């Protein structure tokens, strides 16, 4: 279906050919046409100048946007209501100046060489959303030419965002499009732990975690677990993480390019600093077989075109000896989930597949509970550690995860799948 803007004497009409009217069974004299969040009751008029599968809209419709004529749309008819779309907005940045030509060019990779559905995919920044006129200024993707073209659009059916929108903007959008904004909520590690720990379904998958408020608290956790990790409440990519272990002669504190041995915790300036800042967490250390090399797993979870959570893939990261984290700088090996399980735990292929299924089940369960508890998500990466008894522990949920590990493994199929699937979810969420 295409849209054609036409010069007409009347301004409250929708023009359509007799063949298209019959195809979609549009037998009502008046219908309500929807373009994203915009809707209006109009008269249907037949126009034989129009090709089949084209609708005509009058230039005099007096709306502050102009839907592109050079892309294909789908049309869904529900009795007297006609929905044209889907119109999907993707928001990666807050400020317009951040959406540079080079950034736009890089976002083409999400869609190039993909079997892309009909509709209007728009990229813009939060600053480009006008809540007074209920319009969006941005760029739409032309799948035939693989170009971004600038335009003015109505508020969409669905918004996929990589950032947390301002509360006033978010509230207005919810009023206009409902619960069709996903991945907007940002949470820190402590908020996530509290939300999920109160949930009977998933709390047993969470390591014991406390706010770091005193050295005595750290010592009590060490009495219980022997090893703990100190993590910044906010932060990512393994930055600022320290490992504290209790040994016969005192305590060992290790971090990036940092190692300290103290007889008493109060002798450590680093730990005293964390307590004073009150922005660190203490987390139970999970014991694995190969304790000299830290290892963890990342599960990529997305809502698909059937509006179901699926695990798109799992990677295992084995850190360099003596390193506290498994971010790219400190990683020694990146393997598939199954390969990493076999290597770290010295188990056979069948047993590794069983554990991998447990990782997937646990991750999907956590995602269901996340959406019940925290907001609306459709694209996350879950970091998991597996202990010596092959139990699964949830470390972190990332909604702004990177793809460097996948590219390093040359898993191009997984990379493209992760880039395009949220838009198929958005299409389904829009009702197309």
Is the entire prediction scored with pTM above 0.85?
Answer: yes
What is the reported pLDDT for 129? Answer: 97
CATH number of the domain bearing residue 64: 2.40.40.20
- In DSSP terms, 80 is beta-bridged to none
User: Is 229 domain-assigned?
Assistant: yes
Same domain, 297 and 395: yes
> 189: part of which helix (H) or strand (E)?
helix 189-197
Q: How far is Cα 205 from Cα 362, in angstroms, rounded to an integer?
A: 8
**pLDDT score at 427:** 97
How many angstroms separate the CA atoms of 232 and 247, rounded?
A: 24
Separation between Cα atoms, residue 185 and residue 376, nearest integer Å: 8
On whether both 307 and 325 belong to a single domain, the answer is yes
CA distance 163 to 400: 8
Mark which of 233, 259, 284 sits at the end of a domain: 284
What's the confidence (pLDDT) of residue 324?
56
**3-class secondary structure per residue, 227-285:** EEEEEECCCCCCCCCEEEEEECCEEEEEECCEEEEECCHHHCHHHHHHHHHCCEEEEEC
Give me the residue label for tokens 């009347």: 10
Domain end point (choices 219, 249, 284): 284
Tell me, yes or no, whether 293 and 376 share the same domain.
yes
Task: Give the pLDDT score at 259.
Answer: 81
Cα–Cα distance, 216 to 1 (Å, whole number): 67
Q: Name the nearest CA neighbour of 401 among 380, 371, 426, 385.
A: 380
Rg (CA), the chain: 26
- Tell me how far apart the alpha carbons of residues 58 and 42 are, in angstroms, rounded to a whole number: 11
306 burial class (0-12, 13-18, 19+ CB within 10 angstroms)?
A: exposed
**Same domain as 395, residue 367:** yes
CATH number, position 278: 3.30.1490
Q: Are residues 277 and 218 in the same domain?
A: yes
Q: Which two tokens stand for residue 155?
A: 């508020």
Cα separation values, 69 from 15, 42, 418, Å: 14, 20, 29
Rounded CA separation 51/63 (Å): 24
Relative to beta strand 135-142, strand 227-232 is unpaired
Q: Is residue 106, in this structure, part of any structural domain at all? A: yes
DSSP 8-state symbol, 25: T
**pLDDT value of residue 323:** 59
What domain range includes position 271? 208-284
pLDDT (0 to 100) of residue 289: 66
Q: Which neighbouring-strand residues pair with 255?
A: 258
Say whether 287 sits in a helix, a strand or coil. Answer: coil
What's the pLDDT score for residue 290?
Answer: 55
Interatomic CA distance for residues 334 and 386, integer angstroms: 16
- Answer yes or no: is 280 within a domain: yes
Q: Are 311 and 325 contained in the same domain?
A: yes
Number of domains in the chain: 4
Cβ atoms of residues 124 and 99 within 8 Å: yes
* Same-domain status, 120 and 147: yes
The Cα 55–Cα 5 span in angstroms is 9
Q: Say if residue 79 is in the same domain as residue 94.
A: no
- Which pLDDT score, from 0 to 100, does residue 342 have? 93
pLDDT of residue 265: 83
Burial class (CB in 10 A: 0-12, 13-18, 19+), 282: buried
Are 216 and 152 within one domain? no
> Which CATH number do you get for residue 351?
3.30.470.20
Q: Are residues 227 and 262 in the same domain?
A: yes
Last residue of a domain, one of 234, 249, 284: 284
Low-confidence ranges of the chain (pLDDT < 70): 113-114, 236-238, 289-292, 322-330
């Amino acid at each position: 279906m295409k849209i054609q803007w036409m010069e007409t004497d009347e301004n409250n009409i929708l023009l359509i050919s007799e063949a298209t009217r019959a195809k979609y069974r549009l037998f009502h004299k008046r219908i309500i046409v929807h373009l994203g969040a915009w809707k209006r009751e109009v008269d249907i008029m037949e126009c034989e100048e129009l090709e089949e599968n084209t609708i005509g809209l009058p230039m005099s419709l007096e709306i502050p946007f102009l839907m592109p004529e050079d892309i294909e749309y789908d049309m869904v008819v529900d009795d007297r209501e006609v929905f044209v779309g889907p119109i999907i907005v993707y928001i990666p940045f807050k400020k317009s100046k951040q959406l540079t030509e080079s950034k736009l060019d890089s976002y083409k990779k999400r869609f190039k060489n993909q079997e892309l559905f009909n509709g209007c995919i728009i990229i813009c920044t939060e600053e480009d959303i006008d809540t007074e006129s209920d319009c969006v200024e941005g760029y739409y993707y032309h799948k035939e030419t693989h170009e971004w073209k600038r335009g003015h659009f109505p508020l969409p059916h669905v918004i996929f965002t990589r950032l947390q929108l301002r509360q006033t903007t978010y509230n207005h959008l919810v009023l206009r499009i409902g619960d069709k904004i996903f991945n907007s909520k940002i949470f820190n590690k402590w908020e996530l732990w509290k939300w999920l720990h109160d949930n009977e379904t998933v709390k047993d998958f969470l390591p014991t975690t406390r706010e770091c408020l005193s050295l005595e608290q750290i010592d009590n956790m060490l009495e219980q677990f022997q090893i703990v990790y100190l993590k910044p409440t906010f932060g990512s990519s393994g930055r600022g993480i320290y490992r504290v272990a209790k040994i016969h002669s005192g305590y060992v504190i290790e971090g990036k390019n940092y190692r300290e041995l103290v007889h008493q915790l109060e002798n450590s300036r680093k730990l005293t600093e964390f307590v004073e800042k009150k922005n660190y967490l203490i987390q139970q250390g999970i014991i694995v077989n190969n304790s000299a090399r830290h290892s963890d797993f990342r599960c990529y979870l997305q809502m698909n075109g059937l509006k179901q959570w699926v695990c798109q893939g799992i990677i295992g990261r084995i850190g360099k000896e003596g390193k506290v984290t498994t971010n790219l700088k400190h990683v020694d090996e990146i393997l598939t989930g199954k390969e990493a399980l076999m290597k770290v735990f010295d188990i056979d292929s069948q047993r590794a597949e069983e554990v991998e299924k447990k990782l997937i089940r646990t991750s999907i369960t956590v995602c269901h509970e996340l959406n019940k508890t925290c907001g609306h998500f459709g694209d996350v990466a879950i970091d998991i550690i597996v202990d010596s008894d092959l139990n699964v522990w949830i470390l972190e949920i990332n909604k702004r995860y990177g793809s460097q590990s996948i590219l390093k493994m040359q898993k191009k199929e997984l990379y493209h799948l992760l880039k395009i699937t949220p838009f198929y979810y958005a299409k389904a969420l829009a009702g197309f």
